[in-house]
Amino acid sequence: MAQSPGRAASAVRLFDAHCHLQDPRIAAAAPSLIRAATASGVGRFAVNGTSEKDWHLVKQMAQEHPAVIPCFGLHPWWVPERSPDWMDSLRQFFSETPEAAVGEVESQKRSYVMGRREY
d(CA 72, CA 63) in angstroms, rounded, equals: 14
What values do phi and psi take at 12, rounded to 5?
-75, 130
The half-sphere exposure of 31 on its side-chain side, counting CA atoms within 13 A, is 4
> 37 to each of 44, 46, 57, 67, 70, how far by Cα in Å?
9, 13, 20, 11, 17
- Provide the residue count of the chain: 119
Share of the chain above pLDDT 90, in %: 71
Domains and CATH numbers, the chain: 12-118 (3.20.20.140)
Read off the pLDDT band of 4 (50, 70, 90).
very low
**Per-residue pLDDT tens over the stretch 52-79:** 999 999 999 999 999 999 999 999 889 9
- The pLDDT of 95-104, averaged and rounded, is 94
- How much is the pLDDT for 84? 96
